[in-house]
Structure 1
Amino acid sequence: MKVLKLIPFLFLGVFACQTPQDIDPNDPNAEQPASEKGTPTEVGQPVGAAFSQTIGPEGGSISTPDNKITFTFPAGAVSKPTPITIQPVENKAFVGIGLTYNITAPDTKLNKNAEMTLHYTPEDVEGAAPEVLGIAHQDQEGIWQSRVDVKVDKVNKTVKAPVSHLAHWAFYEQFFIECDKKEVASVEQVKFVVKFPERRTDAKPGDPYGDLMPLSPHQIISASRVVRRTINGVTDGSKEGDNYANVGQITEDRSLAKATYTAPAREPDNNPVAIGAEIDLKQLGHIILVKNVRVESGANLSINGSYDANPNVMLTVNGNKLQGAITDSTGLKMISFSIEGFHGDGVYGFGPNGGSQIIARISQFTIGTHGYYNDRAEWISGKATVTISNYKGKERPMIGKISGTFFRGTSPFSASAKFKAVPAVL
């Protein structure tokens, strides 16, 4: 079991004496001194029915019906048999985990701290880590007062923290990754930021109920705190057999803890992709925060009876010209096209003349065209078309399909494709 005392070391020892050197103090997104009083939030509304149990001087425990949360009262916490009621309510704490629990008892004050235990799942801490969970109660002014003493047990997947008095109590994330999407198309981008809760840095021992610190909204941390970025646990996402081409790429903002992940041109073999950031907690060492992103290509490729359910898709829009290539995993079979006069959604055909062209490649040296002239100089068309059903411009996925007949000389073969990917807009 690991005892985590994150707040006093991290926020008192690090931030009280210095401002990060690579941050503009006038930037509202940078690490700034926190509000001394914290920022109030509304009180959450009840969620479901309350539950209660009588706790005597010998102590006891109360669990939620799903056993997600357990409150343990040690011997001597109350002086006489006391009915204690727990009402689940909405969690309005900044980046709260699960529900808030309002603990009440008539005319009662705890003589000893109780203990609140969270039985967490990976989904509960996605984008964060159990080591960075904190606990706080909401005071009468609506301000969340956080405690400094949290115990993490990764083996049993529990987080425990003291409950000093009867109030609204909730767990929250002290550091976490925030992203704008959890599912992306091929070559689509996801923006990531690493945040922590703005808070006071002058709490002193002897404050009521212990070393409490009022919380304010989370803000972006300094880039100097990010040691490295990872994809699937590997720095920069590259290693033998697992490079940018099949897992994507991370581009960092070196002034703040922001980054952009660009998905690969096809669905990766390991999906979802785990995007990580290793954070330096100074005296407490390093932690790795992880956020999962699923890449859904929505593409397929069929050429002359050969089918690929997960081809590479590359699209480019340059003015009124659309170019695309849908390639199988071997890189040998492909449909590529170039459309002049591109104007967004619609059906685009290909004639014997003009700038628009489309071909289907069967192998390295065998290419099929969309039509041919017969021996009477008549154009025989395979009626190949590219249909664009969704184009919203830059940074948005384009959806389309390709169909038609192609020819090796005069021998026909069928080829078709579906695609969904973000085009490069030049």
Structure 2
Amino acid sequence: MRYTLIRKLVCIAPVLMALAACGGGDSTPAPAPAPVPPGPPPVVTPAGTAQGTPVSASLGSAGGTLSSADGRLQLVVPEGALSAPTTISIQPVSNGAPGRVGSGYHLLPEGITFARPVQLSFAYDESDVAGSSAELLGVATQQADGTWRWQGGTLDAQARTVTASATHFSDWSLVKGLQLRPPSATVKTRASVSLKLAYCFAPALDNDLLEPLGFDCEAENAPAPSQAVNWSVNGIPGGNGSAGTVAGSKGGATYTAPAQVPPTNPVAVSAEIQGAGGKVLVVSNITVKGDETAGYAGSISGTVTETADGTRITYQSANLRFVPLEVPPTNYAARGSLTMTTYHPGGDVTTRLVNLEGDGSVLTVHDPVLEGPYASFSGRYWFSVMGLFNACPEKAVMDGTALPSYGADPSRLEGARQISCAGGSLAIDAQWSLKADDAGT
């Protein structure tokens, strides 16, 4: 019996079934986006509703300035624009503009006309140009029919402002004319993410006035550039094995993450487009993460007792780690060692060190999204002794009602279990504490 137990314990390792769930300082005009073929109709949105604190000031023929409460919009009324003292107000409103940046602003009084254009200067920061570029920012105004019209604007990259002229008051917003969506994303190693270029403002070619109207740039059929697009990762055309690769066309691309987390993370996936005002670069920042279950490290210990004669074996792991056997990781091979001490009925005690080098000692982490015989389990993590002893049938694992579950955190696999098998001739008591191995993430 002693030889049989030791032979079987050479490949000891409990099996855990897991049910897993940007520019310089010169002031340059911001170019209007280039024309694109007809696509979806211009987006129509309701007028914005009041949000935040309004500000007001009485201005006369001498003109003056007024800033919104959040400091994002400054209104400059030049001398001679007003013929009489007038109360001017800026009311922050909900923003329905396509490609919107920050709040919308309702300027009052409605219906007022100015003898000279007033200046609307919008401030922006780096987060406001995510997935786009400062050169593609502009100012848009909502028309009476609910559509939005591009007013363009002058970019001051050093001051980080975009300034446009207005002769009337309505709802106004800073907007992105063109976007790369998503502007940021997280993807696992070897996985892919789809990127799409979409115009938020582009001329409707079936409109005789050729006004740059606003489109739903989040829609699947949003208008896309018609000119050539050059795709890069961290400035490398097409990317490489270290940073990941990108392949695409005019309307979009697919980024595929490398096999390992890149040394520079996140990576910058960019599209260079030849616009009317020159080349424009839009960037999406992609964070690459290792698989959360790329490996486990920790300890396993327990006792195996032969109920007939009382032979007892204790086992304790050292330097235990489970490494993936395939991608995506589902099965893991045990590495490390086990110290096994056998207590014989006659009082003799023997100790043996077993190195776990082969793939016979395997941890299994199961994801219910994947097809498989264990997908019907209601829990997420399960512990069993499949593979621990040849005498313990695989059916013990298949019977979900007999197995406890251990929470929903894939980074921590901890628990204890007692089981009898081989017709009751073996009693097994196991404890384990495993955590996601940082070396694999």
Class of the TM-score when normalised by the shorter of the 2 chains:
0.5 to 0.7
1:388 alignment partner, one of 356, 360, 365: 365
Structure 1 segment 269-308 matched on structure 2, within 5 A: 269-281=263-275, 283-297=276-290, 298=292
Partner of 1:317: none
Structure 1 residues 391 and 230 mapped into 2: Cα distance closer, same or farther (>3 Å)? Answer: farther
CA 1:338–1:277 in structure 2 vs 1: closer, same or farther (change >3 Å)?
closer
Q: Where in structure 2 are the equivalents of 1:116-195 lying within 5 Å?
A: 116-147=120-151, 149-179=152-182, 182-195=185-198
- In structure 1, what is the Cα distance between the partners aligned to 2:206 and 2:439? 52
Identity of aligned residues (%): 22
Q: What is the Cα deviation at residue 303 of structure 1?
A: 7.9
Tell me whether 1:249 sits opposite 2:245 in the alignment.
yes
Decide whether the 8 Å contact of 1:388 with 1:399 is kept in 2. no
Question: What is the root-mean-square deviation of aligned Cα atoms in Å?
Answer: 4.3
Deviation at 1:203, TM superposition (A): 6.7
Gaps of 5+ in 2: 1-25, 299-320, 343-349, 372-408, 415-432
- 2:99 aligns with 95
Distance in 2 of aligned mates of 1:415 and 1:250: 36
Q: How far is 1:113 from its partner?
A: 1.4
For 1:161 and 1:43, locate their aligned partners in 2 and report how far apart those are by CA, in whole Å: 21
Contact 2:149 2:212 (8 Å CA) reproduced: yes
Other structure's SS at 2:34 match: helix
1:243-288 residue CA offsets vs partner (Å, 9 max, x unmatched): x23x222132x4x42111122233322222211100111x422100
**What is the Cα deviation at residue 66 of structure 1?**
2.6
Distance 1:100 1:86, change over 3 A: same
Change in CA separation of 1:387 and 1:118 when aligned onto 2, cut-off 3 Å: farther
Amino acid in structure 2 at the alignment position of 1:358 = A
Secondary structure of 1:97's aligned partner:
strand
Taking a change above 3 Å as real, the CA distance of residues 73 and 250 of structure 1, as seen in their structure-2 partners, is same
2:247, 2:154 → 1: CA distance? 35
* Conservation of the 8 A alpha-carbon contact between 2:334 and 2:362: no
User: In the alignment, which of 41, 58, 62 is matched to residue 58 of structure 1?
Assistant: 62
1:335 to 314, 319, 323: 323
Question: Which is higher, the Rg of structure 1 or of structure 2?
Answer: 2
Equivalent pairs, count? 325
> In structure 2, which of residues 102, 113, 116 is the aligned counterpart of residue 112 of structure 1?
116
Distance in 1 of aligned mates of 2:31 and 2:207: 14
The amino acid of 1:73's aligned partner reads V
| Residue ranges of structure 1 left out of the alignment (5+ in a row) | 16-30, 239-243, 305-332, 349-356, 361-367, 404-413
CA contact (8 A) 1:387 1:401 kept: no
Deviations 1:163-211 (A, max 9, x none): 221111112111110128622232232110111135323777xx7xxx8
Say which SS state the counterpart of residue 217 (structure 1) adopts: coil
Scaled by the length of structure 2, the TM-score of the pair is 0.62
Aligned to 1:232: 234
1:420 is displaced (CA, Å) by 11
1:4 counterpart residue number: 29
Over 3 Å counting, the alpha-carbon distance change for 1:51 and 1:390 in structure 2 is: farther
C-alpha separation in 2, matches of 1:402 and 1:251: 39
Q: Given the superposition, is the C-alpha separation of residues 302 and 59 from structure 1 closer, same or farther in structure 2, using an over 3 Å criterion? A: same
Q: Does 1:259 align with 2:253?
A: yes
Find the residue that maps to 1:131 and give its secondary structure.
helix
How far did residue 105 of structure 1 move?
Answer: 1.8
